[in-house]
Structure 1
Amino acid sequence: MNSSTPSSRLTGAFTALLLAVLSFSLLQTFVVPALPELRSDLAAGPTSASWVISAFLVSSSVGTVILGRLGDLFGRRRLMLVSLAVLGLGSLIAALSDSIGMLIAARAIQGLGAGTFPLAFGLVRETFRRERVPVVIGTISAVFGIGFGLGLVLPGPLIDAYGWPSLFWASLALVLIAAAAVVAFIHVPAQPVVGRIDWTGAVLLSVALVALLLAISQARVWGALWTILLIAVAAAAFAVFLRVEHRLASPLINFGVLRRRPVVAANLTALIIGLGMYGAFTLVPQLVQTPTETGYGFGATTTQAGLYLLPMAVTMLFAGPLAGRLGPKLGWTTTLVIACLIGSAGFALLAIGRDTGWAIATGAGVIGVGVGFAFSALANVVVAAVDPHQTGEATGVNTIVRTIGGAFGAQIAAAIVTSATLPGTSIPDPSGYTTAFTVSAIALVAAALAALIGRPAPDQAVTDR
C-alpha cells in the first residue's frame, strides 16, 4: 500500500494485525489460571499438567523462526493465514480434549502458530508508510505483551462461568475474526520467491531448540542426568546447524545479519528481559492467592488475582505506541535503556511492597510501562537494522531468544520461591518472593547495560534515530 491507500483500509489492516498477534499472545499464559481445574477434570498429575505449558513453549520456538522465514520467501499474508489456521486447529482440539494427552498435543499445535509475530512486522513494512512504521510496530509489540498479561486476567471469569474449555472456544473465535480481518484488509503485492527453505537446517535448529527448552522447563522434574543429556544434544545439534548454514547460499538464518551490532544488542537484551520479566510475572498471582492464615498473601480467588495484573495490561496498551513516537526522537537504544530501567523500578516496588495490595498493583502498572516500551524498542531496533526481506527471520530469532530467556527466568524464579518454606508446611517462605522480585529488578538493570552495546557511533546517530 502507498500514500494513496484509503485510511479506512489502513485502519482495517492495522486492526487485523493487532488481532492476529493478540490471538497468539493470549495463549502464552491463558492456561496458567486454569491448571488446577485441568488437573482435576483430566485426572492429571503435576508433571503432566506442566506439559500443557511446556509443549506450547517448545513448539512456538520452532514455529517462530520457520514460519517467519517461510513468510520472507513465499509471502507474509499467505503464511499469516497459515499461522492462524494452525492456531485455530489447536484451539479446536484443545476445546474438545477429554484427556491430558490430547490437550498437550493441542497446545503443541497452537505453538506452531507462533509465526504471527514476525509475520506481522514484515506486513507492517509492506503496508504502511515509512514514517508510520515505528508507531505501528510499537503498538503491535505492546499487544504481544498485553496478551501475556490479559492471559492471566481474563481466564478467571470465563472458568468460573463456563469451565476451562471456554478458554479455547474463545481463542478459536478470536482466531476466526483475525483471519477474516486479514483476508479483508491485508492486501500486498505478490513477491517473487527468492531462495529456498533449508529443511536440513530447520530440522537441526528444531532439535536444538526443543532439546534446550526441554532441558530448561523440565530440569526440576527430570533431574540432572536428563538435563545434562538434553543440553549436550542441543549443543551438538546447534554446532552442526552452524556448520551446515555457513555452507549454503540460502541459509535458514543469515548469521551475517545477526552479527550486526544493533541486532546483537537487541538479542542479548531480549534474552535478559525474558529472564527478568517472565518468571516473576507468574509469581504475582501465586503470591496474592496465598491464604492469609500463612501470615502473608491476600487469599485472592483466580479472578481477583488477575485484577492485580490488570494495571500492567492497561499501561502496556499506552506504552507501546508512545515508545513508537519517542523512539525516532530519542533513538531506539536510548528508548530501550529507559524501558529496562522503568521495568526494574516496577520490580523493586514489588519487592519492597510485597505485603501491600496497592504496591503490587502499582508495581505491575510500572512494569507494564517498561514492557510496553521494551517490546516496541526491541522490535524497532531489529526492523531498522535489517533489509525488508530479512524482517521475518530477524524478528523471529529475537522472539526465540526472549522465549529462551523467559524459560530460564520461570525456572529460576520458581527455584528461588520454593527454596525455603514455612516451618512444617510446603508453602513458600515470603522472603522467596522478595528475593525473586529483586533478582528481576537487577536483571533489568543488566538488560539496560546490554542495550548500550547497540548504541551507534557518533557519525551513525542519525541512523539510530
Structure 2
Amino acid sequence: MRTSASTQPRPGVLITVLALAGIVVSLTATIVVPILGQLPQIFHTDASTTAWAVTATLLAGAVATPLTGRLGDLYGKRKIMLVALIPLIAGSVIAALSGSIEWMIVGRALQGLATGIVPLGISVLRDLLPADRVGSGIALMSSSMGIGGAIGLPVAAAVAQYTDWRILFWAVAVISALCGAAILWIIPATKPLAKGKFDPVGTVGLSVVLVALLLAISKGASWGWGSATTITMFVVAVVVALAWGWWELRTPAPLVDLRVTARPQVLLTNLASIVVGFAMFAQSLIIPQLMQLPVETGYGLGQTMLQMGFWMAPAGIAMMLVSPVGAKISAARGPKTTLIVGGIVMAIGYGSSALFMGSLWGLLVTSVVASAGVAFAYGAMPSLIMGAVPRSETGSANGVNSLMRSIGSSISSAVVGAVLAAMSVDLGGYTIATEDGFRTGLLIGCGVAVAAALIAVTIPAKFTPGMAVGHGHHAPAPAEDEELVAAAS
C-alpha cells in the first residue's frame, strides 16, 4: 500500500529515496562530460555549437530551481517533485534518440528542468523527518549533487568508452522513472502551507534576468567581454532585475519574497552560497585538467578520462561519509559553525593541492579534503535558510539558495577560465595553461574558501544547544517561526 500522510515512512527510507533522486538529478551535470569532445564529430558541427549541450542544462536549471520551489510551497512538494521528473525522463529519451545537435540541446535543456528537485527534497525532509534526523537528512540531501557528479563521471566515462554513449541517457531515463515510482510510493503527500496565487509576471522576469546574466557570464569569454552581445546581456539582466524587484515588492503573492530574502541571516547565507559555489567549481575545473594533461608538459599527469574519473570518485564518497559529521557539528554548535568549518576545510584542501600538484595521490587527498569542506557547507546552508524563513516558504527559499550556488559556479567557470587562458602557452599547436596558471587558479579557490568562512562568521544566526536543526515536524515550532509566518502573510 502506498504511503499516506497518516502513515509516515521510516526516516532512513525517506532519506534514501530523496537522496537517490538528488544523485540522479546531479548525474545530468556530468553525463555529457566524457563525450563532449566527441560531439562535434558525432553531430557534424563545431565545438561552439556542441557547448550548448552544457549551457542549455545550466540555463534551464537556473530558471527552474526557484520556480520549482515556489510551486512546491503552493501546490505540494511531492506533487511538484513528480512533475519535475517528467522533463528529466523525456529529455533523457530525446537525447538518447537525438540525430542532430539541436535535439541533443533540447533534451539537455529538459534534463536541466529537474534541478529544483534537490532543494525541494530538502524542504520535504524538514516537513516529514523527526527532529533528531532532520540535520543528517539535510546534510546528505545537500551533498547529493556533489556525490552524483563525482561518482557519475567515471561511470559515464566507462560506458562512453566501452559501449554506445546513448546508453548513458537511456540509463538516466530508466533510473529517473524508478525514482518517480519510489517517491510516489514512499513519500507522503503533505498539505501546502503557502497561500496566494502563482506569480507568472515574476516568473518571466526572473527567467529573463537569469538567462541574460548566465549567458553573459558563461559565454563572455567566447563572445568577448567587451562585445556588444555580452554588454547587452549584462544591461538586460540589470534593467529587468530592477523592474522584477519592483514588481515582487508590490505583488501580494510574489515568486520570491524579497523582504524575507533581505533578512540578514538569509541574505548572508545566500552570499556565502555564491562563494561556496565558486570555490567548489574551481576544483572541478582545474584538477581534472591537471590529471589529463600529457606528462610531456612537465606538470601533467597523463591520465585518460576514465582514469581521471576514478581518481576523482573518492571526493564524492568523502562528501557522503562526512555529511553526518557536519550534521553532528550543526546539532552541537549550530549550522553557522558548520559553515565556518566547511570554508576552512575547503581552504586547507585548495592550499595543499597547490603544493602537491605533481602527484596523483596528492591531488586525490586534497580533492577529498576540499570536497569534505563542501559537504559541511552544503549541509549547513539549507539549515540556516530554513531557520530564518516561515514554513510556508521553505521550498522557495531553498530554491533561491540553490540558485545562488549555481551562479557562483558560473562565475567560477568564467574567472578560472580567464585566468587559465591568460596564463597559457602554445604547445604543439594547442593552447595549454601553464603550471603557474593552474596554481593561481587553485590559490584563488583557496582565497574564495576563506572568504566563505569569513562571510559565515558575520551571519547573525542564534543557536541554542539541543535546538533541532531545521526545525523538524516533531519539534514544536518556535515563536520566531510563527512571527515569520505572520510577517509573510
| TM value normalised by structure 2 | 0.91
Q: How does 1:137-148 map to 2 (within 5 A)?
A: 137-148=138-149
* C-alpha separation in 2, matches of 1:276 and 1:305: 20
Alignment-derived partner of residue 256 in structure 1:
259
Structure 2 vs 1, CA of residues 121 and 424 (structure 1 numbering), >3 Å: closer, same or farther?
closer
Measured after TM superposition, the shift of residue 37 of structure 1 is: 2.0
SS in 2 for 1:422: strand
Alignment-derived partner of residue 393 in structure 2:
390
Asked whether the equivalents of residues 296 and 430 of structure 1 are also in contact (C-alpha less than 8 Å), the reply is: yes
Measured after TM superposition, the shift of residue 72 of structure 1 is: 0.3
Measured after TM superposition, the shift of residue 139 of structure 1 is: 1.0
Q: How does 1:131-142 map to 2 (within 5 A)?
A: 131-142=132-143
> Is the counterpart of residue 416 in structure 1 residue 438 in structure 2?
no
Alignment-derived partner of residue 427 in structure 1:
432
Alignment-derived partner of residue 209 in structure 1:
210
Alignment-derived partner of residue 331 in structure 1:
334
Alignment-derived partner of residue 349 in structure 2:
346
Q: Deviations over 1:338-390 (max 9, x none)?
A: 00110111111211111111110001110121111110011111122212211
Measured after TM superposition, the shift of residue 4 of structure 1 is: 8.7
Asked whether the equivalents of residues 78 and 189 of structure 2 are also in contact (C-alpha less than 8 Å), the reply is: yes
Measured after TM superposition, the shift of residue 33 of structure 1 is: 2.2
Asked whether the equivalents of residues 332 and 464 of structure 1 are also in contact (C-alpha less than 8 Å), the reply is: no
* C-alpha separation in 2, matches of 1:464 and 1:405: 29
Alignment-derived partner of residue 154 in structure 1:
155
Q: Which amino acid aligns with 1:349?
A: S
Select 1:235's aligned residue among 238, 254, 273. Answer: 238
Flag structure 1 segments of 5+ consecutive residues without an equivalent.
Answer: none
SS in 2 for 1:114: coil
* C-alpha separation in 2, matches of 1:232 and 1:390: 30
In terms of mean alpha carbon deviation, does 243-252 or 39-48 score higher?
Answer: 39-48
Question: Which consecutive aligned stretches of 4+ in structure 1 deviate over 6 angstroms post-superposition?
Answer: 1-4, 460-465
Q: CA RMSD in A?
A: 2.0
User: Structure 1 or 2: larger helix share?
Assistant: 1
Flag structure 2 segments of 5+ consecutive residues without an equivalent.
Answer: 470-489
* C-alpha separation in 2, matches of 1:406 and 1:461: 33
Alignment-derived partner of residue 72 in structure 2:
71
Asked whether the equivalents of residues 266 and 451 of structure 1 are also in contact (C-alpha less than 8 Å), the reply is: yes
> Is the counterpart of residue 43 in structure 1 residue 44 in structure 2?
yes
* C-alpha separation in 2, matches of 1:431 and 1:155: 31
Alignment-derived partner of residue 170 in structure 1:
171
SS in 2 for 1:410: helix
* C-alpha separation in 2, matches of 1:61 and 1:455: 28
Q: How does 1:158-307 map to 2 (within 5 A)?
A: 158-191=159-192, 194-223=195-224, 224=226, 225-307=228-310
Alignment-derived partner of residue 473 in structure 2:
none
Measured after TM superposition, the shift of residue 280 of structure 1 is: 2.7
Alignment-derived partner of residue 110 in structure 2:
109
Alignment-derived partner of residue 444 in structure 1:
449
Q: Which amino acid aligns with 1:445?
A: V
Asked whether the equivalents of residues 273 and 405 of structure 1 are also in contact (C-alpha less than 8 Å), the reply is: yes
* C-alpha separation in 2, matches of 1:155 and 1:390: 36
* C-alpha separation in 2, matches of 1:176 and 1:423: 47
* C-alpha separation in 2, matches of 1:128 and 1:464: 11
Percent identical among aligned pairs is 33
Asked whether the equivalents of residues 280 and 413 of structure 1 are also in contact (C-alpha less than 8 Å), the reply is: no
Alignment-derived partner of residue 322 in structure 1:
325
* C-alpha separation in 1, matches of 2:263 and 2:121: 22
Asked whether the equivalents of residues 13 and 181 of structure 1 are also in contact (C-alpha less than 8 Å), the reply is: no
